Each structure stands twice: as C-alpha cells, then as structure tokens.
Amino acid sequence: MSGWRVEDLDRGESKGTERVAGRMEKVAVPLVAIVGLALVLSAVALRSGAPSLEGNAAPTAALTATATPLSAKLALSSRALRPGLCGILSGAVPEPAYDGQARSVRRIDASVSLQLDPWWVWCVSGVRFYDNAIEVVGRFLPIREATGGPNPRVAILSAEFEVALAGFGGLGIAAVGEDGVLRLGSTDNGRSLEFERAADRASAVTLTLTSMDGTWAVTRGVARNDTSVLATQVDPAGRLTRVYLLSAGELSVRLPFQP
C-alpha cells in the first residue's frame, strides 16, 4: 500500500477540456452579444410599427365611410298637391315685387320640404315670369304641431336655392322670403331673348339647395372630411355662419307646371 501512487488520470483530459471551454467562451461571448442586439432591434422595429398597424386596424369614426353626408341630411323632397291648395296665384296676387306686368304665370301646386324640418312645408303655388326676372310664389304651411310649444323656425328660410330652366340653365341663386316668395331678378341682359324663349317653352322649374345657415345643429356638426361640402363661411370670431354644398341629386327638386 505504501508503494502505491495516486495518479490523476483526468489531468490531460481536463486540460483539453479547459482549452475547448476557453475557445467556446471566446465564441459564445460575441454570439450572445449578437443575439441580444438582434432582440433589441426586433423590439424597436415592432414598437415603431405599432401605431401604423393600429391606425389601419381601427380607423377613427371621422374617417369611416358610414358617416352620413350633410347633403343627405339637407335632402329636398317634393310632392304634387291638389290644384289650388297652395293659394291664389295671378299676375297681381300676391303683390309682385317687380315693375311691369308678368309675361306669363304658370301654376304648380307642389310641396317642397327639407329632410331636417318635420314641422313646415313650402307650398309652391306657381311661377311668374317677367322680362328679366322670375318669382317662385308659395306660402309656408305647418305639417305637424310641435310638442309643448310653438312650431320651430322654418328651415327653408335658412337655405339658398339655384333656380334653373330647361333650355336656359341656371338663372341665379336666391333665398325664399318671409312671405314665401323666392325672387330672382336681373337675369343676364345679354341672354334676355334666350330667357324669354325658355320661359315660354318651360314645362317645369328646378330648385337646387346650394347653401344653408351655419347656426343649425346639423350644419354646426358637419364633419371636416364631408365630401358634400364645397366651402364654409365664418364670422370674425370664427363662428360658422354658412355652409356651401356641392350639387347633388338629393338637393334638387323638379316642379312641373300644370297644363
């Protein structure tokens, strides 16, 4: 037993292992750094891309195609009525605003109403043609009693309309007066003969809503990206005073003349 000698048989192997481990450590350190850098870059890329993906996935309500355009909320409608229902119409009644005798008087008897106004209708009795002017004559009639108080203001009084005749085109833009008459005078004198001929041949008059008072709730709440809005007008304090609309089918009514 005293002659025995304990010999480390793993010494050579451990030295080889140490050499291999050393080499592995040298390789592993930069590898870990590269992997860590890759993870950091990936996280940054994901973080920077998040708003774009979120914006595409969940657009705001103002940009959705489901928003109702202002032109639909201000849509015009018309309905033929019993002859004589809208009142007396002649060259003298109601009293004309223009000098001279009317060239012709055409009976209509039709209602014109705005989508936003369930209370009032403009009852159009007819049209009076002058040498260079036109009057669309009517009166305002309540179509439903307001609950708990007097009827609200008449929405049509806040609108402006373009008047057009087939064979002539647009005559101009005007508002309906408090007396229920839309007056449009001083048509282009250079086309006066053309206007007279178109008036003589006309079978209807077309009204198109072109603008609306900005004090109504429906106009105050118009979306900034509303494609039916042509322009807006504000006062010096920045308050909305008027909204101008692009021409659209729902903003026009054709009022045929009676035979």
210-254 confidence digits (pLDDT tens)? 999 999 999 998 888 999 999 999 999 999 999 999 988 999 999
Mean pLDDT of the chain: 78
In a shared domain, residues 53 and 90 = no
* C-alpha R_g of the chain: 39
Average pLDDT, integer, range 80-106: 91
**Residues 142 and 40 grouped into a single domain:** no
249 and 135 in a common domain: yes
Average pLDDT value for residue range 206-211: 98
* 240-245/181-184 β-pairing: unpaired
Residue 118 shares a structural domain with residue 242: yes
Long-range contacts of 11-14, Cβ-Cβ distance < 8 Å, separation of 24 or more: none
Enclosing H/E stretch for 161: strand 159-165
pLDDT at 129: 95
**Is residue 64 included in any domain, yes or no?**
no
Domain count, the chain: 2
Please indicate, yes or no, whether residues 78 and 202 belong to a single structural domain of this protein.
yes
Q: Are residues 249 and 166 part of one domain?
A: yes
CB atoms within 10 A of CB 76: 21
Does the pLDDT value for residue 112 go beyond 60? yes
Would you say residue 176 lies in a domain? yes
Residues 95 and 13 in one domain: no
Confidence (pTM): 0.72
Residues 219 and 107 in one domain: yes
74 and 53 both lie in a single domain = no
Rounded alpha-carbon distances, angstroms, from residue 22 to 9, 14, 17: 21, 12, 8
User: What is the model's pLDDT at position 173?
Assistant: 96
- Token digits of residue 116: 């936003």
Which has the closest alpha carbon to 177: 204, 159, 151? 159
Give the model's pLDDT for residue 85: 93
Q: Which residue has the higher pLDDT, 154 or 13?
A: 154
Is the confidence at residue 200, as pLDDT, over 60? yes
Task: State which residues form the domain around 248.
Answer: 70-256
The verdict on 160 and 197 lying in the same domain is: yes
Q: Are residues 43 and 81 in the same domain?
A: no
Q: Is residue 65 part of a domain?
A: no
3-state secondary structure 180-203: CEEEECCCCHHHHHHHHHHHHHCC
Please report, rounded to a whole number, the percentage of residues in the chain having pLDDT higher than 90: 54
Q: What is the pLDDT of residues 130-146, one digit of tens each?
A: 988 999 999 999 887 65
| Res 36: pLDDT | 47
Mean pLDDT lowest for which of 32-36, 149-153, 170-174, 228-232?
Answer: 32-36
For residue 105, report the phi and psi dihedrals to the nearest 5 degrees. -125, 125
